[in-house]
Amino acid sequence: MDYYSTLGVPRNATPEDIKKAYKKMAMQHHPDRGGDISTFQRVQEAYETLSDPVKRQQYNNPQPRQRQWNTSNFDEFFRQQRPRNRDITIAAKMELKDVFTGKSLIANYRLNSGRVETVTIDIPAGARHNDTIRFTHLGDDTFPGPRGNLFVKVQINEPKGFARDGMTLYQEVDVNVVDMITGTVYNVTTLDDKNLSIKIPPGTKANTKFNIPGYGIPKLHEAEKRGSLIIIVSPHIPKVQNQDVLRKLKKLRKNLDK
């Protein structure tokens, strides 16, 4: 077999010419694109020889065989020289609320071979922003042999009024300033739709924090373990238009000052 004819290049072709011709022929004859597998294998064989300076020199100037090769070593050598399929990285977006239960996503991504892959990605509960999850053998499949890996980078959106620090979840709530002065029981709906009642004592100051263990973010791979929910109280100051109410408030303030 004439390797140069197989790739359609002259004998004085540069390494760049050989690489360019190989890519064109590999895409044309790849079995996944309807090509003939035997032709594809001949293209692979030609490229493996002509892309290696030592092998190309030996091919251009064949010498009498001096010794018998060990077949297993010979096969292993060619396996090591075979191009490796690349890894692929994609992003998966989810809401902070999804972290409590995990989420299954359907991802579509294009391989270097041109084929579109569709897979279901399971993101576990407790996943963190910018976590990278590896899915083996879901990457590129351009070349024969094991496929590359798929890496999924998790992107988590935090809604307004919420913040996360590891397994601790912070939630800001607005409480009427009068209730903070007199004290009250405040009902809170958590991010995962649970209802809690918090006792606000009289004279509570702005940004006071209430720690509620077991209602925070689940631990990765141990979802039954959860961190703390920190409720941060912010005063809500209503705009009073009623002049009679304003006069009463002013009178009340004078009494408080005393």
Residue 8 region by backbone torsions, left for phi larger than 0, else alpha for psi between -120 and 50, else beta? left
Same fold: 3-81 with 88-157: no
**pLDDT number for residue 26:** 83
Contact 99, 127 (CB under 8 A): yes
Global model pTM greater than 0.75? no
Distances (CA, A) of 190 to 94, 112, 142, 254: 18, 44, 48, 38
pLDDT in tens, the chain (258 residues): 788 888 888 989 898 998 898 888 888 887 777 777 788 888 888 888 888 888 888 888 876 555 554 555 655 655 556 788 999 999 999 999 999 999 999 999 999 878 899 999 999 999 999 999 999 999 999 888 899 999 999 999 999 999 999 999 999 999 999 899 999 999 999 999 999 999 999 999 999 999 999 999 999 989 999 999 999 999 998 888 888 888 887 887 777 766
CATH number, domain 88-157: 2.60.260.20
CATH architecture of 3-81: Orthogonal Bundle (1.10)
Q: Which CATH superfamily is domain 162-236 in?
A: Urease metallochaperone UreE, N-terminal domain (2.60.260.20)
